[in-house]
Structure 1
């Protein structure tokens, strides 16, 4: 409403008894009003730009806080998952070690049993009987070879008679040896073969368990290495977050935002102040018009001088307001740059 009222030119003409000084004053007042109106529009535009930048800064701050919370939740979940996997693998490793100890005890017991059976078998009567049978057979074979050599050395004339005598002596012995067949060792060999097969099966199972345990230990070592790498990465990201996302940064940004809002309110008040000064100037001009017949030329010059001083003062205040607004705008750009840098660091840490 003030701008609309000020935009209406004052009706001051020579028909009301005005003079050239009044017309000049009116023209100067109108120029001053146009200048103030233009500067006010500029200040309003800059204020809107400031509010837009402030909203954008608040949006970036909220987005940064959300990303930080999501990243911390992911890190916590990953730590819990790795801890659960580590505990599970440690439990399985303990069970396998206990199973391995049990199997080792069983193998020791079976080894002792096998040694005892071997000793018992070597000292059994059957084995001794087989040894006693094998030795006479070997002696008989040697005698037979010798006898055959003797028979070959005999002459053809005495071979028939000697053969009959030798056959009469050897045939009963050979029949006796043929009838004395070696005893069967199958009843004793079967339990030993069965026990050996059981031992071999246990050894195969043990080898399989040892291979599985070795694989589990290797996987456990790999998981430990991965856990160490993840812990180092977590420490690095925490340090990076501490370096790039200072907890004081948010408080500092909030403080600066409040400070900029206060400066904005002062700028608005400073921008509205020239209108009040203009109204007072118009009142002075109206009073001068009413009392133009009672004043002298010196009073007119003083009014002109006061109007010029007032315009200069308003221009100075407007310039100060503009400088403050530019400084606040630069401060907003700096804050926006800091927020963008913090967001890039957070994205790099998350990747």
Structure 2
């Protein structure tokens, strides 16, 4: 079958280990379902895998990709939930210390077929096409949990989204705006700031800019490059909700500011199947949809990876199968 996979890893040249080629068709374990993939989406997680982060070299070659929508063997249109808990886990799967994502322990979604546990399939609403649906399992579900489960600020509050061009940030802007938050966003280029406006941001700023007033919550998936600004942007008692660190995981702590202003730092990771189902209903009810940076055939996946590695992305990159 056709697949996009990591053959080797390099922190300095991650695309050197990327292959678009043929791999054997996988065999389904008991209780797992086969999905013929119609569309898959690219995430920073895939670049991290090529850099050797989170994917041990002894698991190579590994099919990349966490996100997919397609058709199962029963003919149902489905979306893949990428969080794979251990077999005996019950409850919130994001709390399972042995959880994994597709493309970490099990082959990912950038292939003609992907195998997942039956519980990891959700019906694709007819209102969503395959391209839009493929954008949702990682960045949009991560944003949904950050906004509606972890975020302590109610609708009507002012929130700041850092790094508006990314998939999580774009989803946060769109959903927060639809839910009644006043959304501000930062972006490195005018193109990214305009993208944030189209997603629903009420105001946009250059990175590090002084804001008109302090905000209730900052959503930060960037890390080192934005962390100091995130803390400075909060009102006393406000919260930073963080889900990642695409610019680096070791920002300055600025503990004096944290304890003196009684700020909160809240971590958030992916989302549950139940949150995914609620998010799908939210998108159907509000009519919001993922904004696309580009849609490419699977054979041109390297172009999408290169675009993300260069930081030249505003919205989601999707591969059609």
Q: So what's the TM-score if we normalise by structure 1?
A: 0.16
More strand by share: 2
Q: So what's the TM-score if we normalise by structure 2?
A: 0.17
More helix by share: 1
Higher relative contact order (CA closer than 8 Å, sequence separation 6+): 1
Find the structure with the greater CA-based Rg.
1
